[in-house]
Amino acid sequence: MSTNTAQQSAQQTAQQTAYHVGDDADRALKARHAAMWALGDFPSVAHRVIPHLGADLVEAAGVRAGQRVLDVGAGAGNAAIPAAVRGATVVAADLTPALLDAGRAEAAALGADVAARLDWQVADAEEAHDAGAFVEGEGGVGGASEPEDQLPGLRFGGR
């Protein structure tokens, strides 16, 4: 088999087996992921294992008061809460409601002013095909290797 034929075959196989947004298999996989993240006490583990990671990320990104931040895969708010503490308005989106509930409770314990700057959304970023689905992000905390592909409706140019 020639190199070209092998490459074409590999591409064809990838296209046939790839998950597509909205496929039943894709939705089932995401439901399993959400259930898995809700099984344990991830917020406690994160506080013990990576206690400063979110705050360090927010600082490195230069998040400041008045900015709008979108945290995709926010979980319990490891980065979203420190961004809100700095005065940013934050949309914290995740597939796992239990993690968002834990983040909401932690933010409330920090005070009404911090809690008011956070919008906790159960959401699938891959299904956000217009900027209104989340927010027109000025700054982003959290990461996607190819955010333009994963978040096609958002305006980029933030940090």
Which tens digit of pLDDT belongs to each residue from 127-136? 754 444 444 3
CA distances from 13 to 5, 7, 10 (A): 12, 10, 5
Q: Return the HEC string of 85-136.
A: HCCCEEEEEECCHHHHHHHHHHHHHCCHHHHHCEEEEECCHHHCCCHHHCCC
Domain annotation covers residue 115: yes
Which tens digit of pLDDT belongs to each residue from 65-103? 999 998 989 999 999 999 999 999 999 999 999 999 999
Which range of residues forms the domain containing residue 36? 21-145
pTM above the 0.85 mark? no
Domain annotation covers residue 4: no
Q: Name the burial class of residue 78, with classes exposed (0-12), middle (13-18) and buried (19+) by CB atoms within 10 angstroms of its CB.
A: buried
Domain annotation covers residue 95: yes
